[in-house]
Amino acid sequence: MAKQKPVLLSLVAWAVLWELAARYAASDMFPPLSHVVTTAFSLVQLQSFKDAIVITARAFATGMALAIVVGVPVGALMGRFKPVDRILNVWVNIFIAAPLTAVVPALMPILGIGETTVVATVFLFAVWVIIIDTREGMVGINRSLLEMARSNGATRWQMFSKIMLPSAMPEVMTGIRLSVVRGIKGVIIGQIVVAVVGLGELFDTYLHGFQMDRFWALVMIVFLLGMTLMGAVGLVERRLTRHAKVR
């Protein structure tokens, strides 16, 4: 509880600052926080929001699932085989540092304007962090465990599934937790830039209609959803980290 006090105090200070600054500025573009919170409660009850959250969640879940399915094996290969690491490492670092928002429109001629492109955007934003952290987890595996497994006649699959993956799982989960934030950013950017659907459509509608109370309420909701997802993944990560320390 004591560790959470600074976080709570900073949130309270931020909320008070927002409220006072908005009331002092008296601008329609920057409504008071109290009004934004009230609007958020009414916004989540709208059918348009419910439809948008379903579309967004589907694209996000599909893109993240693909990022995990691709990122973990690729990161594992990079961590265990130096030739693979030398070939792929430069490309992974290029893409994780690249301004992917500028790359997103290039997907439209290939995948078209629709949910497929949004899924691809989530994948591109999320997969590189998973690859890097999985690689680091594989590199840091205790070699004595591997030697012991070999001496007992373990197959490569048994070594991977029972030693390598469990030992690297804390780093893998860290990569997944960090990729959640990038994935949320990717799905919103994809829906705004590529296909104006889901929450991206609502953002575009509220911003161009100068409905700033709903716009900021939607921003707040997306932030809360992101923090909730990160908290859930972080809980699993902490449990796996404790399990790894026991091992």
Do the domain assignments include residue 29? no
pLDDT digits 0-9 by tens, 175-204: 888 898 888 888 888 877 775 678 888 888
Distance CA(176)–CA(193), nearest Å, equals: 25
Residue 25 lies in a domain: no
User: Is 14 inside any structural domain?
Assistant: no
- Residue at 18 is within a domain: no
Total count of domains within the chain:
1
Q: What is the CATH number of the domain that holds 154?
A: 1.10.3720.10
Residue 148 placed within a domain? yes
Residue partners of 5: CB distance under 8 A and separation at least 6: none
Instruction: Assess if residue 28 is contained within a domain.
Output: no
Any domain includes 85 = yes
* pLDDT 10s digits, 57-86: 999 999 999 999 999 999 988 988 888 888
CB 39 within 8 A of CB 213: yes
So what's the pLDDT on residue 21? Answer: 79
Provide the residue range defining the domain that includes 226. Answer: 34-242
Q: How far is CA 95 from the centre of its chain?
A: 16
Q: How many residues does the chain have?
A: 247
CA 135 – CA 79 distance, rounded (Å): 4
Instruction: Tell whether 41 is covered by a domain.
Output: yes
